[in-house]
Amino acid sequence: MKLNRLFMLAAFLPAIHSSVLLPSGFSQDDTDKDRRMRWFRDAKFGLFIHWGVYAIPAGEWKGKIYPGASEWIMYRAEIPTKDYSPLARQFNPVSFDADSWVRLAKEAGMKYVVITSKHHDGFAMYHSRASKYNIVDATPFKRDPMKELAEACKKYGLKFCFYYSQTQDWYEPNGVGNYWEFDGESPKNFQEYFDEKVKPQVREILTNYGPIGLIWFDTPRNMTAAQSKELADLVHQLQPDCLVDGRIGNEMGDYKTKGDNRLPSGATEMDWETPATMNTSWGFKKSDENWKSTKQLIRALVEVASKGGNYLLNVGPTAEATIPMPSTERLKQVGEWLRIHGESIYGTRMSPWTIPPEWGMITTKPGRVYLHVFDWPKSGKLELHGLRSRVARATLLGTRTAVRFRQEHHEALGLALVSIDVPPTPPDTNVSVISLELEGTPDVSNRIQQGQSGTITLFGIVADLHKSPGSRIRKDDTGIREWVGKDDWLSWEFAAAKPGKFKVSLGTYEVSTGSGRTRKNIYEAGHQFALSLGGQELRCAVDSSQRRVEKPSPYFTDFVNEVGEVTIPAPGVYSLQLKPENLVSTQGIGCVLRWIRLQPVK
């Protein structure tokens, strides 16, 4: 079979340059926003704390263990307020030690702490004057732990921040969510609850605890644009430098908040944060032993930083105010890694390469790129594609030893290659880091290249989208969504230096839709595509019965369909097209594509 080689001369290839500069079009407002955002952009790593009276049942009610997160027990077990609220009378964490919690966050290398001032159960974990249903007035404990935490954060130099659930409040008839006791899911008078509880409480937490780094609203649900704006204005009026997270709703936040435990496929945008669990629940849950390893957590932190975000990692203390031992151990180990490698995380910006290399992740600072190697090459050589800047020095970050490297340019393929000689074993068992000192700012080509192993991965987020009029197909930060229209198609252009025969697979995933009781994960399959590469055409199916599962991260599952083989006969630049022949969509989800992979057949 003969392939069409599209171009052979680099001089004619359009190369996409990226840089790590802040968004263009600076205005006075941008400058002020940059000033307010600076600590957040540099911090990269924060501690999330879900602590409330739900730590007493800890996932169990009347002998039954409820699925999901423990802070949702009131909802899941449909507990009436008259039975749930007495939990407050048992809440007496006399050994609570704010200093030790914040010291732990500091030791973990975290730069800010976000704690639940009021979660969906409506119980305020601080001394509220707006509602007696709070830790000082309703528990035997009678202390305000938030005052103590604010002090401890000040002592250790961490930003103190609050979580506040602004719509869901299962204690209040006018709050959202308590369908089992009050009239259905829609509250009778949300505005009244908003005026009489939310605004006064937000005012309290922003007035009585010193400077607050950010306020973390959650589940915006029915918030109107006017309500989101009013709340954001209130925050900024009380504390102009306090940041507002993305879940205030209606795009009124200072930054974007990703879905829980969600990581984008590539470096997509500035200023975002992902909240993440170490096990499954956010609040303390006795039965939840699903702990991620320290290595997984370090890698997730690196991945988030390399894609331009912040990693807000959660702990769920017990009702006695103990942070579970598996969390403490992991946090200390992450801190040990950061003590050696922190320079490659703090103050860095997203990788100038949109798509990470197949061996790991990249972060950058002016004049530097940091190569975070997850899969250490057995060959003793690490290949970095696309860097056109001259490298002055390459160093292993841990030992500070210099390593040899070579830079090559293959004009015909538009390839810039740095080959680095690395020791046979990785210097760090979690993630080893190589620092490249550059002459000038990184000049990078984002042309899709074959990886070091010969694999070519075509991510949905960098596909060229050929959209028919009125179609719903779109890209989000993980891939292609809502592909239901048979006239929509995708294409990618890539360079291949190592020709041969390749096994082709498609990676798809499920998406969650709805909210509250209607929330569910949906996966639609049975789609058929025609994949063409040069003169070759492959009929391929995304089919549930044929698929296997891959776990690209502790948080995600990709469904993989092997669809056949193609040949790349010679080095060159090629175009691959994917056109639907039949798309199945009974629930409006259609095909959700993360990637197409071409793996060399040995």
Give the CA distances from residue 231 to residues 203, 245, 559, in Å, rounded to whole numbers and listed in that order. 10, 12, 41
Shorter beta-carbon distance to ligand FHN: residue 76 or 103: 76
The least distance separating ligand FHN from the CB of residue 247, rounded to whole angstroms, comes to 8
Report d(CA 141, CA 55) in Å as an integer.
Answer: 15
Show contacts with ligand FHN in window 482-501 (CB under 6 A): none
Smallest gap from residue 283 Cβ to ligand FHN (A): 7
Could you tell me which of 276, 309, 278, 303 has the C-alpha nearest to residue 293?
278
Q: Which stretch binds ligand FHN (CB under 6 A): 68-76, 130-138, 178-186, 395-403?
A: 68-76
In the complex, least distance from residue 108 CB atom to ligand FHN, rounded to whole angstroms: 19
3-class DSSP state of 457? strand
Q: Which stretch binds ligand FHN (CB under 6 A): 66-74, 356-364, 472-480, 516-524?
A: 66-74
Instruction: Tell me which stretch binds ligand FHN (CB under 6 A): 67-75, 135-143, 207-215, 470-478.
Output: 67-75
Distance between CA atoms of 185 and 168, rounded to whole angstroms? Answer: 10
Orientation angle between helical segments 145-156 and 98-107, nearest 10 degrees: 40
Stretch that binds ligand FHN, among 65-73, 204-212, 516-524, 590-598 (CB under 6 A): 65-73
Residue 82 neighbours by CB distance under 10 Å: 8
311 near ligand FHN, rule: CB under 6 A: no
Q: How far apart are the first and last CA of the chain?
A: 19
Question: Residues 256-286, buried b or exposed e (16+ Cβ, 10 A)?
Answer: bbbeebbbbbbbbebbbbbbbbbbbbbbbbe
| Long-range Cβ contact pairs of 142-146 (< 8 A, separation 24 or more) | 143/96, 145/51, 145/93, 145/96, 145/98, 145/321, 146/115, 146/117, 146/205, 146/209
* Closer residue to ligand FHN, CB minimum distance, 69 or 304: 69
Q: Nearest approach, Cβ of 28 to ligand FHN (angstroms)?
A: 33
The smaller minimum CB distance to ligand FHN, of residues 105 and 431, is found at 105
567 pairs with which residues across the strands?
501
Q: How many Å apart are CA 496 and CA 283, to the nearest integer?
A: 48
Instruction: State the residue for tokens 């009244």.
Output: 192
Token match 């596909």: residue? 463
Residue with smaller CB distance to ligand FHN, 72 or 370 = 72
We find the least distance from the C-beta atom of residue 419 to ligand FHN, in angstroms, to be 42
Beta strand ranges found along 366-473 (DSSP E)? 368-373, 381-385, 391-396, 401-402, 405-410, 415-421, 432-438, 444-445, 448-449, 456-459, 464-466
Token duo for residue 242: 């306090």
For ligand FHN, which is the closer residue by CB, 256 or 547? 256
Q: Which is nearer to ligand FHN, 282 or 374 (CB)?
A: 282
Please state, in angstroms and rounded to a whole number, the distance separating the CA atoms of residues 556 and 360.
17
| Closest to ligand FHN by CB, 204 or 273 | 273
Minimum distance of ligand FHN from residue 259's CB (angstroms):
7
- In the complex, what is the shortest distance from the CB of residue 361 to ligand FHN, in angstroms, rounded to a whole number? 23
Which of 108, 150, 110, 99 lies closest to 126, judged by CA?
150
DSSP 324: P
Identify residue 38 by its one-letter amino acid code: R
- Closest-CB residue for ligand FHN? 275
Supply the minimum distance, in Å, between the C-beta of residue 221 and ligand FHN: 10
Shortest separation between residue 48's beta carbon and ligand FHN, angstroms:
7
Q: How far is the CB of 118 from ligand FHN (least distance, A)?
A: 11
In the block, tokens 């959202």 appear at 176
For residues 265 to 294, the per-residue mask of contacts with ligand FHN, x marking binding by CB under 6 A and - elsewhere, is ----------x------x------------
Task: Name the minimum Å distance from CB 278 to ligand FHN.
Answer: 13
Q: Specify the residue, 164 or 193, whose C-beta has the smaller distance to ligand FHN.
A: 164
Comparing CB distances to ligand FHN, the nearer of 266 and 275 is 275
Rounded to a whole number of angstroms, the minimum distance from the CB of residue 69 to ligand FHN is 5
Nearer to ligand FHN, 115 or 598 (CB): 115
Kindly determine how many residues on this chain lie close enough to bind ligand FHN according to the rule CB under 6 A: 8
Cβ distance to ligand FHN smaller for residue 69 or 593: 69
Q: Closer to ligand FHN at the Cβ: 255 or 282?
A: 282
Binding residues for ligand FHN restricted to 207-266, rule: CB under 6 A = 218-219, 260
- Nearest distance from residue 160's CB to ligand FHN, in Å? 18
Minimum distance from residue 282 beta carbon to ligand FHN (Å): 5
d(C-alpha 188, C-alpha 173), whole Å: 7
C-alpha 17/C-alpha 386 separation (Å) is 10
Rounded to 10 deg, the angle between the 225-238 and 199-207 helix axes is 20
Question: What radius of gyration do the chain's Cα atoms show?
Answer: 26
Nearer of residues 49 and 206 to ligand FHN, judged by Cβ: 49
**Whole-angstrom distance, CA of residue 124 vs CA of residue 247:** 19
Contact between 144 and ligand FHN (CB under 6 A)? no
Task: Please choose, from the candidates 223, 276, 298, 334, the residue with its C-alpha nearest in 3D space to the C-alpha of residue 114.
Answer: 276
Residue among 20, 53, 69, 504 that touches ligand FHN (CB under 6 A): 69
Q: Which stretch binds ligand FHN (CB under 6 A): 69-77, 107-115, 361-369, 555-563?
A: 69-77
188 CA to centre of own chain:
35
71 binds ligand FHN (CB under 6 A): yes
| Binding segment (CB under 6 A) for ligand FHN, from list 53-61, 64-72, 220-228, 372-380 | 64-72
Binding mask 542-581 for ligand FHN (x = CB under 6 A): ----------------------------------------
CA atoms within 13 A on the CB side of 212: 30
CB of 262 to ligand FHN, least distance (A): 10
Residue (168 or 306) nearer to ligand FHN, CB: 168
Q: Which is nearer to ligand FHN, 219 or 407 (CB)?
A: 219
Residues contributing to the site for ligand FHN (CB under 6 A): 69, 71-72, 218-219, 260, 275, 282
